[in-house]
């Protein structure tokens, strides 16, 4: 039987993975896996995953992994990194975990220039719990808790995480936003977000614009349209801060 090519750092016994058809997590995790392979860091990476759909990645990789509570992956990764600076700590979370319930951890770990890599999947909703408002839900977007569309006068505007983090981090931080719609760029950013930790330059953060057809109730074409037209219009893709040159737009 012919198997699709998998990164070496993926954990084969847990494949096929458990994400929905059309979900962007698999693409983001493939980019992460390929970056781990390319940098040859499988044996010293610790992967931490949050609650929400990111939880489904808890045994995704053939790397030491630990699962935490909603929003708390960042402090667990910080605790490991502070204790074992030789390890490469990768926190993997959703927009709710990073920008809402765990926002104080994200913000303060960035300010303290913690030498961890945080990857945040932005799919504009709380998907695991059935599609509620997330900090990243677009204005007017319907969710189960914004049945008439997100009213920014009542719930504010979507969180622009990388922009915020770029403003508060020290030189040496790596802050970028990628999209699963541009795989080669995504993989490059993923690699830089890891390399930045390896070199000890500073805090590393990558937001990944992703897809959630299940909760968006979109077919394939509509899914890509929402991602490429509406999300990218609100959340510009590119490197906001990078020790590796000027930053790619």
Partner 1 sequence: MVEKPITGSRKAFMTGNEIVTWAALASGADIMFGYPITPQNEVMHYWTRLAPRFGREFLQTEDEISAGFTVCGAVQAGRKAFTATAGPGNVLMQEPFGMAEAMRLPVVAVIQQRGGPSSGTVVYSQQEVTLTAYGGNGEGHRIVYSVATHQEIFDYVIKAFNTAWTYRFPTFVLGDGYQAKMREPLELYDPAERGIQLVPPTPLVGLPGAIGEDREPQHLCNIYSLEEELYDAVLRLEKDYQAMAPLVVEWQEKNCDHAELIVVSHGVVSRAADDAVQALRQEGVRAGFFRPVTLRPFPQQQLREALRRSGAGRLLVAESSQGQLLRLLRQELYGERVPIDALLMPGVGIVDEDIIAKVKSIL
The 3-state DSSP composition of the chain as helix, strand, coil percent (nearest 5) reads: 40, 20, 40
Does 118 contact partner 1 by CB under 8 A? no
Does 51 contact partner 1 by CB under 8 A? yes
What minimum distance in Å lies between the beta carbon of 30 and partner 1? Answer: 17
Does 84 contact partner 1 by CB under 8 A? yes
Does 15 contact partner 1 by CB under 8 A? no
What minimum distance in Å lies between the beta carbon of 218 and partner 1? Answer: 27
Nearer residue to partner 1 within complex by CB, 81 or 191: 81
Q: Is the dihedral of CA 25, 203, 46, 66 positive or negative?
A: negative
DSSP 126: B
| Cβ proximity of 239 and 195 under 8 Å | no
Contacting partner 1 (CB under 8 A), which of 37, 59, 198, 232? 59
Which residues have CB under 8 Å from 46's CB, separation 6+? 63, 64, 65, 66, 77, 80, 87, 88, 89, 90
What minimum distance in Å lies between the beta carbon of 72 and partner 1? Answer: 5
What CA–CA distance (Å, rounded) separates 33 from 199? 19
Does 56 contact partner 1 by CB under 8 A? no
What minimum distance in Å lies between the beta carbon of 233 and partner 1? Answer: 33
Nearer residue to partner 1 within complex by CB, 87 or 178: 87
Q: Which two tokens stand for residue 215?
A: 């909760």
Q: Is the dihedral of CA 107, 197, 61, 16 positive or negative?
A: positive
Nearer residue to partner 1 within complex by CB, 120 or 231: 120
| Cβ proximity of 93 and 116 under 8 Å | no
Contacting partner 1 (CB under 8 A), which of 28, 33, 68, 173? 68
Does 230 contact partner 1 by CB under 8 A? no
Residues that bind partner 1 (CB under 8 A): 11, 42-44, 46, 48, 51, 55, 58-59, 61-69, 72, 74-84, 86-87, 104-105, 107-108, 112
């Amino acid at each position: 039987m012919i198997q699709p090519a998998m990164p070496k750092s993926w954990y084969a016994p847990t494949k096929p993975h458990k994400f929905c058809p059309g979900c962007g997590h698999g693409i983001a995790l493939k980019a992460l896996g390929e970056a781990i392979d390319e940098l040859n860091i499988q044996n010293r990476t610790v992967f931490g995953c949050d609650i929400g759909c990111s939880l489904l990645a808890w045994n995704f990789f053939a790397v030491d992994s630990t699962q935490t509570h909603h929003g708390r992956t960042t402090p667990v990764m910080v605790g490991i990194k502070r204790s074992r600076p030789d390890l490469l700590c990768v926190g993997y979370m959703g927009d709710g975990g990073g920008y809402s319930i765990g926002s104080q951890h994200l913000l303060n770990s960035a300010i303290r220039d913690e030498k961890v890599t945080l990857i945040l999947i932005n799919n504009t909703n709380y998907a695991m719990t059935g599609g509620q408002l997330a900090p990243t839900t677009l204005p007017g977007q319907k969710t189960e808790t914004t049945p008439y569309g997100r009213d920014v006068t009542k719930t504010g505007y979507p969180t622009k995480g990388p922009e915020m983090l770029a403003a508060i981090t020290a030189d040496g931080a790596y802050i970028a936003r990628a999209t699963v719609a541009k795989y080669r760029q995504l993989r490059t950013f993923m690699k830089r977000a890891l390399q930045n930790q390896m070199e000890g330059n500073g805090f590393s953060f990558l937001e990944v614009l992703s897809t959630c057809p299940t909760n968006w109730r979109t077919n394939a074409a509509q899914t890509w349209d929402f991602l490429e037209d509406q999300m990218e219009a609100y959340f510009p893709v590119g490197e906001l801060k990078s020790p590796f040159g000027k930053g790619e737009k």
